[in-house]
Amino acid sequence: MKIFLARPAVRIAIAAAFMVLFVVAPLVSTPFLNYQFSMIAVFAVALLGLNVVMGYAGQVSLGQSAFLGLGAYIAAYGVSHDWPISVVFVLSCVIPAAVGMLVALAAARLRGLALAMVTISLPIIGVPLAKRFPEFTGGSQGTTVSWLNAPGWSGLADDQWRYYVVFVIAAVLFVLGRNLVRGRIGRAFAIVKSNEAVALSMGISPYRYKVLAFTIASLFGGAAGFLYVAIVQYTSPETLSFATSINLVAAMVIGGSASILGTILGAAYYIVVPVLAGQVDSTRTALISGALLLAVLFLLPHGLVSLPRRIVQLVNGIRRRGRSTVIDPPGDNTARGTAVEPESQEQTQ
């Protein structure tokens, strides 16, 4: 099965299948479903940024929502002042990146939780700041915008057009991100994450790469903010809130940190679970979401992306029970909780 999947032809076929799915889906889905898909794309971009700095580079960031919110505010402001959309997009990426870089320059020498605290302070400071300058942000009421309406020649509805725009941008950003983490920079991040002293001895400056990681994360966060305004057409100080940051970190771990596919799964979890919880019982959403989160972490501590691997392990574990008393090779974590049958003494082959 693994060998089948590794074949390039099969991979291309699967990728093509998904491409067709993505392209065709909005044409046959309801506006609500398109909204959900689009929001998954928006938060996938935000999570990708978070994953770069936290999953790949190993630096705790509890402030990603601040960059999401900042990008959203820039986009809302630019759009309501009729700036060209490409300019708005560039600014939504560049300004948060600059802010992230400045913060990182100051704070990247800090370790662990001190750095986390600095990142926590970003949304904490951001919310009252957003309320303080209503000329730019619309204050606590927020700003509504109306843009990215489907052009006449496309024959599409608004939600379909926005879906395509967001998906194309998200896809491009994902390709960029993927290449980044698989390239030289990604390898440097991995070394900085595992042991800074080793990195230093190899000539890789942990400080520089941490700053770079934060800048990239903030850039993606800002881009996600732009996409957010494209779909929701509204932003307010709640977008910046600390609670959003916490939920983003949870979604990243649930999906699978340091994994591109995990990022997408995490975004899907982030968007879908509240809707599911609401369907079950809308007055008990916290209970259901919390229980679900704990359940997923218990069963799949490495995230949803590790599900295939886990199933393979479980299957192998069951298969191996019937065989010899060969000691399990190290690293093969046969699942706890599966029934342990007495080891068979027979040699079967």
Restricting to residues 237-266, name those near other proteins by CB under 8 A.
Answer: 238-239, 242, 246, 249-250, 252-254, 257
d(CA 205, CA 187) in angstroms, rounded, equals: 13
Rounded to a whole number of angstroms, the minimum distance from the CB of residue 330 to other proteins is 16
Count, residues near other proteins per rule CB under 8 A = 84
Alpha helix locations (H) across the chain? 2-6, 8-28, 31-50, 64-80, 85-107, 112-132, 134-137, 158-182, 184-194, 196-201, 206-232, 242-255, 260-280, 285-299, 307-321
DSSP 53: I
The site map against other proteins for 72-111 (x = CB under 8 A) is ----------------------------------xx-xxx
d(CA 81, CA 171) in angstroms, rounded, equals: 28
In the region spanning residues 308 to 347, those forming contacts with other proteins, defined by CB under 8 A, are: none
DSSP 29: S
Q: Which is nearer to other proteins, 283 or 348 (by Cβ)?
A: 283
Q: Which pair of structure tokens corresponds to residue 47?
A: 């999570």
- Applying CB under 8 A, the span of 161-169, 171-179, 190-198, 306-314 interacting with other proteins comes to 190-198
Q: Which is nearer to other proteins, 90 or 190 (by Cβ)?
A: 190
In the region spanning residues 210 to 239, those forming contacts with other proteins, defined by CB under 8 A, are: 228, 232-234, 236, 238-239
**Helical packing angle, 64-80 and 85-107, nearest 10°:** 150
**Locus of tokens 């898909």:** 37
In the region spanning residues 109 to 148, those forming contacts with other proteins, defined by CB under 8 A, are: 109-111, 113-114, 116-118, 120-121, 124-125, 128-129, 131-132, 139-142, 144, 146
- Residue (of 256, 260, 257, 251) closest to 292 by Cα position: 251
Q: Which is nearer to other proteins, 6 or 21 (by Cβ)?
A: 21
| Chosen residue from 4, 153, 319, 345 binding other proteins by CB under 8 A | 4
Q: Which is nearer to other proteins, 90 or 307 (by Cβ)?
A: 307
- Applying CB under 8 A, the span of 12-20, 90-98, 172-180, 321-329 interacting with other proteins comes to 12-20
Residue 66 neighbours by CB distance under 10 Å: 34
When asked if residue 24 is in the footprint of other proteins (CB under 8 A), the reply is: yes
Rounded to a whole number of angstroms, the minimum distance from the CB of residue 114 to other proteins is 5
d(CA 145, CA 336) in angstroms, rounded, equals: 52
For 277, phi and psi rounded to 5 degrees? Answer: -60, -40
- Tell me the CA distances in angstroms from 192 to 3, 149, 187, 230, 235, one per residue in order: 33, 44, 9, 36, 36
Q: Which is nearer to other proteins, 87 or 114 (by Cβ)?
A: 114
- Applying CB under 8 A, the span of 170-178, 179-187, 291-299, 340-348 interacting with other proteins comes to 291-299
Rounded to a whole number of angstroms, the minimum distance from the CB of residue 152 to other proteins is 17
- Applying CB under 8 A, the span of 21-29, 180-188, 314-322, 341-349 interacting with other proteins comes to 21-29
- Applying CB under 8 A, the span of 85-93, 175-183, 292-300, 314-322 interacting with other proteins comes to 292-300
- Tell me the CA distances in angstroms from 97 to 200, 214, 249, 327, 347, one per residue in order: 25, 8, 19, 51, 61
Rounded to a whole number of angstroms, the minimum distance from the CB of residue 180 to other proteins is 20
